[in-house]
Chains A and B, each alone.
Chain A
Amino acid sequence: MLRFAVHTLRLISLLFVVVCLVGRPIIAQVPAPDEATYRIAKQLNCPTCAGRNLADCPTETCAQWKAEIKAQLDMGKSAQEVLDYFQARFGPTVLQEPPKTGVTAPLWAAPVGAALVFLLAAGAVMLRAARHNPLTDVAAADPAEDPFVSALEEEVRRNG
């Protein structure tokens, strides 16, 4: 049984190595996508399917948009000019990262604000805890003035 398991494991390992060695050249033979087009498409949204990146979307609309990006790059436009063209034509929602101005500014500021509030609150709590260290508080406190200690001592005396 153990020998069978070892043989199977060896066979799987061998297959894995073969797939890795043979598979790499096969993958390399697939024509590489136009890098410049891909990089710009990565910064845009698919116009018809919510939340999907243009670069990874296989729909007809996205194919047209990618062709438009390539055509504009071929005309000599820079990546920023292409992005500006799409934003002017289809609005800021077309960008994966909408501009951090106008109505979207609070959405960008909210997480930073929340983090600041959290840090301030956490800092204040830690500071307060450090000031009221139970060990130092107890040591520094006058037992005669502490009603808890007085009550405890009274109880001990009574049961004593």
Chain B
Amino acid sequence: MVDEPSVARQTSRVHGIGGKPLIVAGILLGIVAIAGVFAIALNLVSQQGARPKPGSPAPDFTLALYPGYRAGLPEQIRLSDLRGQVVVMNFWASWCVECYKEADALEAVYRKYKDRGVIFLGIDYLDTEAPALAYLKQYDVTYPNGLDVQQRIARAYRITGVPETFFIDRNGVVREVIIAPLTEAQLIAKIEALLAE
């Protein structure tokens, strides 16, 4: 009797199925390459960080203000330079329908508190200049506003859309995030709470 495994081994050899290790190596290399690409993608995502939670320090940034919307501040401002004041930071865009609903309230409350240690910052998100300036003019906005170039601030604060408003206390700590249009009453209540501290 012929030993069957031996015959099978010999048949394999005769038919030249010796390329298996190479195929396996190719597949492994492919898996390694795909894993590498995923690792790079994951690294990019993790670099963006998490949304600053209430109680965490507000990520610092610089913002170039639109001409005519500087409210006495320099052309470029840094958030950390505003330490000691309550900051109401509002992300908006001229194409954002919900932003229209809070535009009047933001401006009215800014005028009410601007001399009481409260500063409003408008962060214009994914906007083109002409419609943005038209929007500011339409709602008679006077508080500092500027374009978020390359969405760096939006990424640092991990916004999910517009409008979003961050309330930052005098120590530069994020105290509250509101993802909806705000009313005058809501703005006043939140600012008063921060001023009372």
List residues of chain A with CB under 8 Å of any chain B CB: 47-48, 59-61, 64-65, 67-68, 71, 88-91, 103, 106-107, 110, 113-114, 117-118, 120-122, 124-125, 128-129, 132-134, 137-138, 146-148, 151-152, 155
Contact = CB atoms under 8 A, between A and B. Distances in A.
Contacts of B149: 88-89
A106 B130 CA distance: 37
Given A117-B29, A125-B19, A128-B18, A64 B95 contact: yes
Interface stretch (B9-17, B49-57, B179-187): B9-17
A154 B26 CA distance: 41
Contacts of A148: 6-7, 10-11, 14
B128 A155 contact: no
A20 B151 CA distance: 48
Nearest to B152: A91
Contacts of B25: 121
A137 B16 contact: yes
B2 A152 contact: yes
Contacts of A120: 26
Given A124-B22, A134-B16, A147 B6 contact: yes
Contacts of A65: 128
A48 B125 CA distance: 11
B84 interface: no
A125 B1 contact: no
B44 to A, nearest CB: 6
Nearest to B39: A106
A107 B37 contact: yes
Contacts of B18: 128, 132
Chain B interface bracket (under 10, 10 to 19, 20 to 34, 35 or more): 35 or more
A67 B16 CA distance: 65
Contact of A129 (B16, B94, B130, B151): B16
Contact of B150 (A48, A60, A91, A103): A91
A68 B128 contact: yes
A125 B53 CA distance: 56
A59 B41 CA distance: 29
A71 B6 contact: no
Given A60-B95, A152-B2, A110 B16 contact: no
B16 A133 contact: yes
A139 to B, nearest CB: 11
Tell me the dominant secondary structure on chain A's binding face.
helix
B147 interface: yes
Nearest 6 A-B pairs (CB), nearest first?
Answer: A121-B26, A148-B10, A125-B19, A132-B16, A91-B150, A68-B128
B10 A147 contact: yes
Contacts of B16: 128-129, 132-134, 137
A71 B97 CA distance: 23
A43 B34 CA distance: 27
Contacts of B6: 147-148, 151
A101 to B, nearest CB: 14
Given A64-B131, A137-B16, A138-B14, A151 B33 contact: no
Given A124-B19, A148-B7, 14 more contacts: A64-B131, A65-B128, A89-B149, A103-B44, A107-B40, A110-B36, A120-B26, A121-B25, A121-B26, A134-B15, A138-B14, A146-B10, A151-B2, A151-B3
